[in-house]
Chains A and B, each alone.
Chain A
Amino acid sequence: MSRDLSRRRFLSGAAAIGGGALLAGCYPTADPDVHTVLKVGEDLTEATQRFFLKPTSLAREFTEADISPKFRANGTRMPDSPEYAALAANDFADWRLEVGGLVENPATYSLADLRAMPSRTQITRHDCVEGWTCIGKWKGVPLAQILNAARLKPEAKFVVFTCADELVKTLDGTGRYYESHGLEDAFHPQTILAYEMNDRPLPIEHGAPLRLRAERMLGYKMPKYIMKVEAVDSLAPFGRGKGGFWEDYADYEWYAGI
C-alpha cells in the first residue's frame, strides 16, 4: 500500500517536473537572467508599499450588507489525506495547532483553546490573484497573540504556515501547501488565524479548521488547513525555498500586495 503510494507519487511528481521544464523551455520569462530583470518590478513594488504601509494601515472593513452571497473557494476544496479525513470526521476535536521554530515557548493549541482566546472579527475583501473579489466575515485569533505567547527569538525573520493539503503529489513532500510572511504582516492587527467564516465554523472548502487572513495581500498568501506555525530565519528549507507553494510551483511573487 505505502510502496504503491510512493510509486504513484514519484511518477506524478516526475510528470509535473518534466511538464514544467517543457513549458519553461519555450518562454523567455523562464530564462534566469530575464527572470532576474523582471523581478526588479516585484522588488520595487514591495519596497514602495512597505515604505508607505504603516503597521497600523488597515485594509478596508465592510458591513454585513456587503458580504458575498456566494464566496468562491479556490485551491484545495477538500484535502485528500486519510489523516485529514479522520480529523474532519471528528469535527477537528483531535486537531492541534503546533507553534514552534525559533521561539522560546513552543506550544500546541486545540480548536477549543483558540476559541477561548480573545478574538477579532473583520468583514474584509478577499482578492484573488486571478482578479476576482469576494467579501466575507472572519473571526479568529490575532496571530500576534500566538506569536507573543511563543516569544520569538531575535533571529526570527519569517513566519511559515504548513498546511494539511497537498496540491501536487511528490516524493519529498514539496507539493504540500505552505506559505510565509514577514514579521510586519505576521504582527499586523488584521492578520488572524480564522476559525469562523460568516458566523459559522470555517467550512472545509475554505480551510477548516483554521486558515490565515492577511488582508493587505492576495488570496494565495492566506493558507488554509493550517497545521503548524513556525518562526524561522530563512525560507530556504521549506518546499523549494521560495516561501510558498505557488511561489515554488508557478513562480508567483512572494510579495503579493499587488
Chain B
Amino acid sequence: MGKNHPNVDPYIVSRVRALESLLLEKGILAPDAVDRVVQRYESDTGPMVGARAVARAWTNPVYKRILLEDTRTALAEFGLDYNMLLVTENTPAIHNLVVCTLCSCYPWPVLGLPPTWYKMPAYRARAVSEPRAILKEFGVDVPAEREVRVWDSSAELRYMVLPERPAGTERLGEAELVPLITRDALIGVAHVQPPSPPRSTSP
C-alpha cells in the first residue's frame, strides 16, 4: 500500500509551485531556501555523524560511556549541538530497533534524511508487532533468547542504535571503521559487516 516512488506527477508539481510562488511573494519563503535545503541534504555528504560516533565508541571506552550517558556532550565532539538523541546499545542479551508508528520521526542530525521504507506504512505498522519478521526480511536473525527491544519514537526524543562491533575488526582504527557503519545498522535493521577480504586474483 502506498506509492514507494515519489513521482513527477504534474498534478503535484502544480500544487507545489502554486504554494511556493505565493510564499515567495509574501516574503515567507526566502529566495535561496530551496538551494540551501538541497545543499544541506544532498551535497553535504560527509560521513554521518552517527557512524563517526559509533566508530569512536568502539575504539574508546571512555567515549562510549559518554555517548551512552551524555549524548549531547559526545556529539559536540563532531561539532553538532543536539540534545534530543538517546543512544541504545546492542548487547548479547538485547537487539534494538527504532521506529515511529505515528509519523516518521527520525534522528536527521545524526543519520541524514530517513529512507523511504522507514516512512512507509509496512515498516511503521509491523516494527512494533513483528520486529523479528521484519529483521528476517532484512537478513538479520535474532535468536529467540535475545530480547528484541523496539523504540517507538512518540515524543521529540530520537533514538540511535549502538551496534555490535563485528568480529575480525580488532585491528582497524576509528577512521577505517567509519565506512563499515551503515545507516541501517544505526536504525537496528542490519548488523555491521566486517570488511570483505581483498579479492584474490588467482583461483
Q: Do A and B make up one complex?
A: no
